[in-house]
């Protein structure tokens, strides 16, 4: 169906989504600078607010494996209008993949590409924390 191994990895990760409450399955995959692919799926909790999105699972898995910078992100859900990353995921992706291409795809082969900068203009990150102010 897809020739892009990153999309294929997100499709495969989606199969492991744990979604007994929403039944909305999402798969994500990150590509590191050395070509390693790191997958993630959404994991829901009976305490609903503790649910973790596929994208953040992928980022945190990548960090656990020692990767801090990702150059591409694929996100797959079974929706006609492609599913974009939620606001919380945009923030986390911004911090670890500011220059990344974000590839949205569904199971029918529809694909759209964005940049992280398009999805999160004027993102907040460590630069602000490091900037000295005049003090109070
Ligand atoms: N979800 C993701 O995994 N990624 C997103 O960017 C949007 C939402 C998940 C969270 C929850 O398990 C389900 O989709 C419904 O919100």
| Domain boundaries defined on the chain | 5-130
Going by the DSSP 8-state scheme, the letter that residue 96 receives in this structure is H
> Of 129, 59, 52, nearest to 97 (Cα)?
59
Q: Give, for ligand 1, the residue of 14, 17, 20, 26 to mutate: max count of ligand atoms closer than 8 Å to Cβ.
A: 26
Q: The domain 5-130: what is its CATH number?
A: 3.40.140.10
Q: Cα separation of 54 and 19, whole Å?
A: 11
Nearest protein CA to atom 14 of ligand 1, as residue: 24
Average pLDDT of span 50-76 = 98
Ligand 1 pocket member 74 (CB < 6 A) = no
Q: Is the dihedral of CA 84, 55, 26, 29 positive or negative?
A: positive
pTM score > 0.95 for this model? yes
Q: Taking the CA atoms of 48, 81, 115 and 109 in sequence, report the sign of the dihedral they define.
A: positive
Task: With cut-offs at 50, 70 and 90, classify the pLDDT of residue 133.
Answer: confident
Q: 3-class SS at 116?
A: helix
């Amino acid at each position: 169906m897809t020739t892009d191994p990153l999309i294929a990895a997100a499709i495969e990760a989606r199969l492991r989504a744990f979604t007994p409450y929403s039944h909305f399955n999402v798969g994500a995959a990150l590509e590191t600078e050395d070509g390693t692919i790191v997958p993630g799926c959404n994991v829901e909790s009976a305490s609903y607010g503790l649910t973790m999105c596929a994208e953040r699972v992928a980022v945190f898995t990548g960090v656990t494996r020692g990767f801090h910078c990702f150059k591409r992100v694929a996100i797959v859900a079974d929706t006609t209008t492609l599913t974009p990353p939620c606001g919380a995921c945009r923030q986390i992706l911004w911090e670890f993949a500011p220059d990344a291409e974000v590839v949205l795809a569904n199971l029918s082969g529809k694909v759209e590409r964005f940049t992280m900068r398009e999805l999160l203009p004027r993102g907040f990150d460590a630069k602000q924390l490091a900037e000295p102010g005049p003090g109070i």
